[in-house]
Amino acid sequence: MAVGVKSACALAKVWYKWCVTSNTITIRLRRPKAEIEAKAKPNVNAWVNKLIEQALGPRTVDWNEHFDKKSKTRCFRFRASEMRRRER
């Protein structure tokens, strides 16, 4: 029984690292967490992202970067409708 629990814990750690930490930034707060959560209601992530957008300005869209990323659902770079549009 203990072996199953250990392997389940190890699997949970691998899943957490793969799913969560790939896009996570950790910051050290200068203000109390409760104060930030009260100001950012209802969603701290959205509030922080809005602050980042204000500081950095709008991002330029790089479609080549988007299509060059590997995707399980997109096998080809372009869809048929885009290919037909180019032929016209």
| CA neighbor of 82 nearest in space, from 67, 62, 60, 61 | 67
Place of tokens 């209601």: 41
What confidence tens digit (pLDDT) does each residue in 4-31 have?
677 777 777 776 666 665 677 888 989 9
For the four alpha carbons of 2, 7, 11 and 14, in that order, the dihedral sign comes to positive
Rounded Cα distance between 37 and 45, Å, is 10
Structure tokens at 12: 């949970």
pTM above 0.85, yes or no: no
List pLDDT tens digits, range 36-47. Answer: 999 998 899 899
Question: What was the pLDDT predicted at 24?
Answer: 76
Query: Greater confidence, 20 or 73?
Result: 73
Q: Give dist(CA 71, CA 22) in Å, integer.
A: 16
